[in-house]
Structure 1
């Protein structure tokens, strides 16, 4: 499914949007309705991709890793939010949630490239990333605007498709032909339009703070690495496996970008923070693969 959206693909789409948008050629962003439809399609497939293989026999490890990899970054984000110019709970919560996301589609691609996808360690990482994704979207829905019922439904509509895809996979197995068609649509229609549209909305010359961006990237790595390593230590996992799990879960990727976009359009974060979170998603995704390569070559 979305695993075919490779580690490098979504940054390329965002970069193309940057070139075409206000950071480059100043072309207009796509219509809001088209944007929401593509976001919903992308999230639906992402929900269907969530995997819990290996959870039955290794439930304690999966739950422990996902808890450490989600709660520690969330707590760290809430703690430092006032230092990062967040003055209210809602924006602080969005920032903390963004630090807690793990991008399942990117992680699957990274694990495939490192020949870990079909190993027990890969199954544990994918299951933990799935739980982190579900927890992040549940936390995000908690702070979306709810002033009016119609507004609530419209603002939640893309996010609801993530849970719809998840439930559909669990309880209503789909025919193979339909799955192949929706995979193709997600790869060649939903994802390109969505991520190019993200780039079209970014103006890195107008709304960017280098020091806040560097601080956010450092926090993004620190939260996932510390949380993963602490959980792995409590679970008595080997040191090399603990590092591989923690680094793999640090990739934010497409899910982070989508969360930032929805938060920005819901008025929960500023344009500057929208830009910073997208850049953080790209950096953490591009870094995870080479870091895992180094860890695998390093003697246990």
Structure 2
């Protein structure tokens, strides 16, 4: 009788990872309200111990053995490092600086208001057991929850704007500036949360060496052709991720730093778009599953859904309030604030990466992680259904006044 090997179990798990979300996405035709990437995240939750493991424990433990999970985690780590690095490359700091007043006010308020609201909710959650991680300082938990409510996922925002056909229009370029500045703030806050004051010397050494290495790296990248830059990129990514993890800042912070010091124009835009899409297609589903394997309902399903709902309410209301306040200061045209506020609701991926780090460092519990994961999925799913009709009405008004459609801003 044949004894199934770890390799065979790994391939069965991989087949499940890619088959289940694709069938749901294609057969249920969810693309309008739940793009494939969102379905993959939901499938990861369904395939985790809280759903599949609870319904079919024997099958779950048969397939997702520790050695299989270890192999999947390795792929997931590499996938998320590539994805975060690409997100850093896509930041256009030059355009952000040119429009620094408008971008600073909008991005700042769109970040600060939901961060403040989320922090207040975190203070409330601290009154009940089961939500604060075992290694968390109170301020780390509060700031971590607050920032989770303020996150905007730049890479997913790009995908959604491509679907809405506004990425290359003035509105789309504005959104990229706002999300880019928020992205920098998110990773800066994460690095601050993860600062280990007992290892401050090691972290300072890493940042000093990184700053010096960037000078040499940028000179090399300018001197070599684009073909060679693609080979140098993963080497640089591994070195930066290792250095950050060695210093206690987590490898994802290093991956973001590796990307943010790279100029986007060093690579053809269509090639970078293809890389991002391929990583999303063939690697990130493994990360989604590994994320789903970490979900838990031990605190109670009702409590987790309640907290997820509160996080979603605080996040959406805070983001809309912050953008509307910016619109009043900057005297935006009618309707712009609501449209921008809803576009900035996309949280999936970056929030999932963010809360994975918080869970790794025991700043949040698995129950908090699950609630935030549900919030990330819901906030992303409501974006297109809310934005599409708003965008159509704004285009109708522009056409009615005789203004060219691409002037919508």
**Structure 2: gaps of 5 or more residues:** 1-30, 54-59, 133-137, 203-242, 398-409
Of 226-235 and 47-56, deviating more is 47-56
Deviations along 1:47-99, one digit per CA (max 9) or x if unpaired, are 12223575365332212111111111122222332112267111111001111
Aligned residue number for residue 47 of structure 1:
88
Would you say the 8 A contact 1:116–1:122 is kept in 2? yes
Structure exhibiting the larger radius of gyration computed from Cα positions: 2
Of 195-204 and 266-275, deviating more is 195-204
Q: CA RMSD in A?
A: 2.7
Equivalent in 86, 93, 100 of residue 59 of structure 1: 100
Aligned residue number for residue 226 of structure 1:
321
Residue 197 (str. 1) matches residue 290 (str. 2): yes
Aligned residue number for residue 256 of structure 2:
162
What is the Cα deviation at residue 25 of structure 1?
A: 3.1
Residues 21, 68 of structure 1: alpha-carbon distance in 2 compared, 3 angstrom cutoff: same
How many residue pairs are counted as aligned between the two chains?
A: 294
Report the Cα distance in structure 2 between the residues aligned to 1:254 and 1:51, rounded to whole angstroms: 20
Deviations along 1:184-215, one digit per CA (max 9) or x if unpaired, are 65223431111121112213466542222211
| Secondary structure of 2:69's aligned partner | coil
* 1:22-41 aligned within 5 A: 22-26=49-53, 27=60, 28=64, 30-31=69-70, 32-41=73-82
Residue 92 (str. 1) matches residue 142 (str. 2): yes
**Structure 1: gaps of 5 or more residues:** 1-5
Of 262-271 and 18-27, deviating more is 18-27
* 1:206-245 aligned within 5 A: 208=301, 209=303, 210-245=305-340
Deviations along 1:101-143, one digit per CA (max 9) or x if unpaired, are 1111221122222222111111111110011011011101111
Report the Cα distance in structure 1 between the residues aligned to 2:326 and 2:191, rounded to whole angstroms: 26
Would you say the 8 A contact 2:298–2:367 is kept in 1? no
For normalisation by structure 1, the TM-score amounts to: 0.87
Of 16-25 and 275-284, deviating more is 16-25
Would you say the 8 A contact 1:108–1:117 is kept in 2? yes
Equivalent in 264, 289, 297 of residue 384 of structure 2: 289
Equivalent in 257, 266, 271 of residue 173 of structure 1: 266
Report the Cα distance in structure 1 between the residues aligned to 2:277 and 2:157, rounded to whole angstroms: 20
Residues 109, 35 of structure 1: alpha-carbon distance in 2 compared, 3 angstrom cutoff: closer
Report the Cα distance in structure 2 between the residues aligned to 1:91 and 1:83, rounded to whole angstroms: 11
Residues 181, 54 of structure 1: alpha-carbon distance in 2 compared, 3 angstrom cutoff: closer
Report the Cα distance in structure 2 between the residues aligned to 1:82 and 1:262, rounded to whole angstroms: 20
Aligned residue number for residue 190 of structure 2:
140
For normalisation by structure 2, the TM-score amounts to: 0.65
What is the Cα deviation at residue 155 of structure 1?
A: 5.0
Aligned residue number for residue 247 of structure 1:
342
What is the Cα deviation at residue 295 of structure 1?
A: 1.3
